[in-house]
Amino acid sequence: MRITLIPALLLALIFFLIPVFIMFYQGLFDPEFTTQHFDRFWNRGAYLRIFINSVKISAITGLLCVLIGYPTAYFIVRRPPSVRPILLFLVLVPMWMSVLVRTYAWMVLLGREGLINMALVYVGILDEPIKMMYTSGAVYVAMVQILLPVAVITCYGTMADIDQSLLSAARVMGAKPFAAFRRVFLPLSLEGAVTGFLIVFVLSMGFFIVPALVGGPKDTMVANIIAVQVAKANWGFAASVALILLVFTLIAMTLIRVVSKRLIYSAREETS
């Protein structure tokens, strides 16, 4: 090990690893070992419901991001190499925009007197403005817009590694365009799509700005419980919820990894 690693190691140790351990302690000891915080989580239906709801919102967000992100990445990777960085840049700039600012933009757009309602009434699709803010739909639109670039770059990462001439080869051998895509490109790029879903899913599980600002009471997510409990100084309970979230994210990450590997390998054998 090199001494130059020390400053970064200290930062990661003191401000990441130790805090996570402190949270374990806070969730499990009060001051003696106790499972009371976890009992509270499991026994009050409301918390469990919020957790399951977060899993649902995150899974749907992940799916939507991959469904839009995969074709977007495919479009970019099929362009000449000189054009690709410019198109990727167009996707990356919004990714670095403040999440708060982007959520605010949706608040402005989706309001009863917001631009979208006004436009729909003006065009005649709506007779009068409808409620868009504080709905699940608003949460999905904002979350997909915020996380879509992540799905695009993950899909693009694996696609860029695929030898593009494989597709042309399949065409030369007589495969129709879509068949060439399905039999050759899709199996090879599936890993990026699954990883993209996984990353968006895990990132969504930690979201709290969007559900708090554009969602209704039904759209509360796990991170919102943690923030509220911290404000109420219920650290033990907040820590136990955070622990459940941590364990869940870690399990979800390993599980989907294993499943995706098997899926990808079986698909590859089928092609070969």
Partner 1 sequence: MKSLRNSPGSVLMTLFFILTILFLFFPIMVILPMSFSAGETLQFPPKSWGLRWYREYFNDDLWRASTFRSLRIALMASILSTAAGTLAAVGLDRTRKSLVPVFTGLFLAPAIIPNVIIALGVFIMAVWTGLTSSEPLLVMVHAMLGLPFVLLIVGAALRQQDPSLENAARVFGAGPVQAFVTATLPPLTPAIISSLIFAFFISFDELIFALFVMGGKVTLPVRIWSDLQHFINPTIASVSTIFIIATTLAMTTAEILRRRSANRNA
Question: Considering only residues 12, 67, 83, 251, which one is a binding residue for partner 1 as defined by CB under 8 A?
Answer: 12
Question: Considering only residues 57, 109, 153, 194, which one is a binding residue for partner 1 as defined by CB under 8 A?
Answer: 109
93 sits near partner 1 (criterion: CB under 8 A): yes
Q: What are phi and psi of 29, to 5 degrees?
A: -125, 140
Q: How far is the CB of 265 from partner 1 (least distance, A)?
A: 21
216 sits near partner 1 (criterion: CB under 8 A): no
* Neighbouring C-alpha atoms within 13 Å toward the C-beta of 78: 11
Q: Which stretch binds partner 1 (CB under 8 A): 44-52, 153-161, 233-241, 262-270?
A: 233-241
Question: Considering only residues 28, 57, 66, 148, which one is a binding residue for partner 1 as defined by CB under 8 A?
Answer: 148
31 prior amide bond cis, ω within 30: yes
Positions in 38-57 near partner 1 (CB under 8 A): none
2 sits near partner 1 (criterion: CB under 8 A): yes
CB atoms within 10 A of CB 221: 27
Q: Which stretch binds partner 1 (CB under 8 A): 32-40, 64-72, 185-193, 256-264?
A: 64-72
Only one residue has tokens 């409990």, namely: 229
Q: Which stretch binds partner 1 (CB under 8 A): 6-14, 39-47, 154-162, 261-269?
A: 6-14
CB within 8 A of 44, min separation 6: which ones? Answer: none
Question: Considering only residues 34, 60, 104, 260, which one is a binding residue for partner 1 as defined by CB under 8 A?
Answer: 104
- Closest-CA residue to 184 (of 202, 170, 200): 170
129 within 8 A of 118, measured Cβ to Cβ = yes
Positions in 181-210 near partner 1 (CB under 8 A): 199, 202-203, 205-206, 208-209
- Closest-CA residue to 142 (of 198, 204, 201): 204
162 sits near partner 1 (criterion: CB under 8 A): no
71 sits near partner 1 (criterion: CB under 8 A): yes
29 sits near partner 1 (criterion: CB under 8 A): no
169 sits near partner 1 (criterion: CB under 8 A): no
Dihedral (Cα; 106, 62, 211, 236), 10-degree rounding: -150
Question: Considering only residues 61, 103, 117, 189, which one is a binding residue for partner 1 as defined by CB under 8 A?
Answer: 103
170 sits near partner 1 (criterion: CB under 8 A): no
- Closest-CA residue to 74 (of 180, 149, 156): 156
106 sits near partner 1 (criterion: CB under 8 A): yes
Rounded Cα distance between 34 and 257, Å, is 33
Q: What are phi and psi of 270, to 5 degrees?
A: -65, -40
